[in-house]
Amino acid sequence: MVHQDDTKMMEEIRWLKAEKSVYIIAHYYQNGAIQDVADFVGDSYAMALAAKDSPLDTILVAGVDFMAESAAILCPDKTVLSPELTSTCPMADSIEVSDVERFKQEHPEGLVVSFVNTPAAIKAVSDICVTSSNAARIIEKLPQDVPIFFVPDQNLGCNISARLDRPLECFPSSCPIHAAVTPESILEKKAQYPDAAVLVHPECDPRVVALADYVGSTAGIIDYAVHTERQQLIIGTECGIFHKIKQVSPGKELILADPNLICQDMKKITLEKVLASLQTMETRITVPEDIRVKAAAALEKMIEYSS
């Protein structure tokens, strides 16, 4: 149930974004109320495309910092706002430019493939970006005879490597939310709900992926959940996606694979902060032009290779 105060704020947010011509883009991991006031809700790849195709000149990104950066990289002529600067991604912050440069020194012929969950500086030293929804498809298109450094999600990299039967050198980091899903937690839930389908994100441990009925991106999990005939679903990704699934398929029983699948960084963004951002038109996200141009090349190549 939406609290009366929340309803009032949501009405004011809708009025202000219309008054000030602001396009709000939100990630599926946001609270339901944030998703409901957004003009567009999607996963990281869809958010990047939505920013690029935004019909308005001001974009407010309700997502972690690299998502707002991606919008600023792809839309240099637009104003990009973030309602919470401290909303970040521990995995994205785990890698340094020096880690990428070290690989390039050792493998000058190699390619650096960076997950979109990275800061702009990492994208700027990457050959191409990918997301969980297009990574395998893009890597299949890359030359077969060159080494690839996949950063920074080792679980996603390992799962893609196994799927394509192609070796990848993976940076040793992982999403703390998806890492919370263990084979033990999946097996426990399967014992409790023997008729349930198991849907997990490819950022999960390969041992978890092996137990799943479906493996896919956030958007992919939602699509599968909505269209499957199975009525009980064990979900191995952040709990925010329940909101969309329940909107479209209210009869499905959704079981979170682990109670810790809550991204506290995403949840730092609140209705109050979105409203304040619209009132003050702060905080604007910018990327230094020398970094932006190089990062844009990696993101644009991702979009090209995904088409």
Q: What is the CATH number of the domain that holds 237?
A: 3.40.50.10800
Residue 261 located in a structural domain: no
What is the predicted pLDDT for the residue at 5?
82
137 and 76, same domain (yes or no): no
- Strand, helix or coil for residue 183: helix
What is the predicted pLDDT for the residue at 307?
79
What is the predicted pLDDT for the residue at 186?
98
pLDDT digits over 277-296, tens only? 999 999 999 999 999 999 99
Q: Which of 97, 113, 124, 123 is nearest to 146 (CA)?
A: 113
Range of the domain at 141: 92-175+291-306
Sheet hosting strand 40-42, strand order edge to edge: 40-42, 22-27, 58-62, 79-81
CA angle 290, 284, 300 (to 5 degrees): 45
281 and 295, same domain (yes or no): no
pLDDT digits over 32-51, tens only? 999 999 999 999 989 999 99
Q: Which residue has the tokens 């979170």?
A: 256
What is the predicted pLDDT for the residue at 59?
98
Low-confidence stretches of the chain (pLDDT < 70) are: 1-3
Residue 281 located in a structural domain: yes
What is the predicted pLDDT for the residue at 238?
97
Distance (Å, whole) CA 14 – CA 133: 30
Give burial (CB, 10 Å; 0-12/13-18/19+) of 229. Answer: exposed
What is the predicted pLDDT for the residue at 40?
98
What is the predicted pLDDT for the residue at 187?
98
Q: How many domains does the chain have?
A: 3
CA angle 52, 56, 62 (to 5 degrees): 70
